[in-house]
Structure 1
């Protein structure tokens, strides 16, 4: 037999080891990428629920009493608090409605850390009713 007849067509052990190493690295990268996507979806779900809660709390009041609005609570693993402060404007008319800046802060534990969402908006102060009583 000649030397060309003894050569068999196939992969050597070294070629197989290199191919397996490349495949293992590729699978590891795919695993990390898909794991990051799943984690991001979970983070986004919590953030979305916190946003809905904050918007619901803001929707509780259309106008703020003169003394302001301060409240806190807990719902479904989310802690929330509301605080208001008078919002200064350059309008000094007696008919101008005073404004209050409202801040809603929603926080929740996630991944060993405390995450937080803060929304801020302006709301008018409640107008006194006839006879001095307030709504």
Structure 2
């Protein structure tokens, strides 16, 4: 009798299992990469909101005695600025009154409303007659 030659190669079942493993791996890789791209986009929009808030704050280094109220919209970002007097417990001719300035930046992202709020203190602008020369 002639010895049977052993076949080499993959059977159909082994090939199907290999394709199934590859398909699951590619699906997982696709989800991970999609999440990273989405996170990078969210961080970019958040960073733009921070830059806008800092730019708005740099418009004024002092606040008038009536305060600072302003609203606007820029490149898909809505913003609102409000100030309120800030009590320090200190008084005197050389100590300026302070105002707490709050900036709220809002934007839509994937049908969700996002917002960023920054708060700082600014001195009150003295009238020209009180400015020392």
Tell me if both proteins adopt one fold, taking TM over 0.5 as the criterion: yes
Partner of residue 113, structure 1: 112
CA deviation digits over 1:9-38, x for unaligned, max 9? 111222111111111111011111111121
Residue-pair matches, total = 130
Q: Secondary structure at the match of 2:27?
A: helix
Partner of residue 69, structure 1: 68
* Map 1:85-104 → 2, pairs under 5 A: 85-104=84-103
* Map 1:1-135 → 2, pairs under 5 A: 1-3=2-4, 5=5, 7-130=6-129
Provide the alpha-carbon RMSD of the alignment.
1.6
Tell me by how many angstroms 1:78 deviates: 0.8
CA distance in 1, matches of 2:13, 2:86: 74
Q: Which runs of 4+ in 1 moved over 4 A?
A: none
CA distance in 2, matches of 1:26, 1:71: 52
CA deviation digits over 1:38-69, x for unaligned, max 9? 11221122112111111111111110011111
Tell me by how many angstroms 1:94 deviates: 4.0
Tell me by how many angstroms 1:123 deviates: 0.4
Tell me by how many angstroms 1:104 deviates: 0.6
CA distance in 2, matches of 1:34, 1:104: 34
Q: Secondary structure at the match of 2:102?
A: strand
Tell me by how many angstroms 1:2 deviates: 2.4
